[in-house]
A and B are shown apart, each in its own frame.
Chain A
Amino acid sequence: ETGVTQSPTHLIKTRGQQVTLRCSSQSGHNTVSWYQQALGQGPQFIFQYYREEENGRGNFPPRFSGLQFPNYSSELNVNALELDDSALYLCASSLGQGPRGNEQFFGPGTRLTVL
């Protein structure tokens, strides 16, 4: 158990809808990163939030957006869902900057299915 929690566990949406996924970071961690893992592939970095600001973004369109709250929990929002958005969405928390910044601890993920 990493102490990182995600909700919901599973979600089914239809194309064109919007979805919000949630993540609570490990105690003491101020950074949350989001990854998308399509079936049979490795996780792909979506973006990272450090102290409530976006700190790095992968190759994902603007309809993928996020927030981080003062307690360092985070949300991932996806608008205008497409079939290819079906994936496991993983949240990882870390200490942010410094030599321990890349020690990322992952939550159990949210499996999103877009029909």
Chain B
Amino acid sequence: AQKVTQAQTEISVVEKEDVTLDCVYETRDTTYYLFWYKQPPSGELVFLIRRNSFDEQNEISGRYSWNFQKSTSSFNFTITASQVVDSAVYFCALSESMDSSYKLIFGSGTRLLVRP
């Protein structure tokens, strides 16, 4: 069964600390895609990254980095030198290629609070 687990419900850090958000997934498919979205208080889901199952290279974009490990079915997200503007709910999501709708299966989210 397809499933995404974000075990951390809420994380609180002080500005400039590094923080890692965990994501563990389950899928039957050999070709799949993983995503991270940010949801600020306004409610709109903001796309951060898409990674396919054949690309296990870590990715860095500014203060954001992602660690994809198929061996542990994890796709973790690290924010370096966190800022107050990073405060939001972050969702990890899975999409399977054998599903023609490419629907996104979301985890329950991790609420990140960055305190000044």
Number of interface residues of B (CB under 8 A): 25
Q: How many A-B contacts are there with CB distance less than 8 Å?
A: 66
Structural contact, B106 and A42, CB atoms closer than 8 A: yes
Give Cα distance in the complex from A68 to B104, angstroms. 19
Give Cα distance in the complex from A102 to B50, angstroms. 9
Structural contact, B104 and A45, CB atoms closer than 8 A: yes
B42 within 8 A of A: yes
Structural contact, B99 and A56, CB atoms closer than 8 A: yes
Structural contact, B44 and A102, CB atoms closer than 8 A: no
Chain A residues closer than 8 Å to B37, beta-carbon distance: 106
Chain A residues closer than 8 Å to B47, beta-carbon distance: 2, 103-106
Chain B residues closer than 8 Å to A111, beta-carbon distance: 43
Structural contact, B103 and A56, CB atoms closer than 8 A: yes
A94 within 8 A of B: yes
A48 within 8 A of B: yes
Partner of B44, one of A45, A58, A106: A106
Near A by CB (< 8 A), chain B positions 79-116 give: 91, 93, 95, 99-109
A74 within 8 A of B: no
A101 within 8 A of B: yes
Near A by CB (< 8 A), chain B positions 18-57 give: 33, 35, 37, 42-47, 50
Binary interface profile of A, 10-50, with partner B (CB < 8 Å = 1, else 0)? 00000000000000000000000101000011111100101
A88 within 8 A of B: yes
Partner of B101, one of A43, A48, A108: A48
Chain A residues closer than 8 Å to B109, beta-carbon distance: 41-42
Closest to A6 in B: B44
Chain A interfacial positions (CB closer than 8 Å to B): 2, 33, 35, 40-45, 48, 50, 55-56, 58, 88, 90, 92, 94, 97, 101-109, 111
18 extra interchain contacts, Cβ-Cβ under 8 A, other than A42-B93, A55-B101? A45-B105, A48-B101, A48-B103, A50-B101, A56-B99, A56-B100, A56-B103, A88-B43, A102-B95, A103-B50, A104-B102, A104-B104, A105-B47, A106-B44, A106-B45, A108-B42, A108-B44, A109-B44
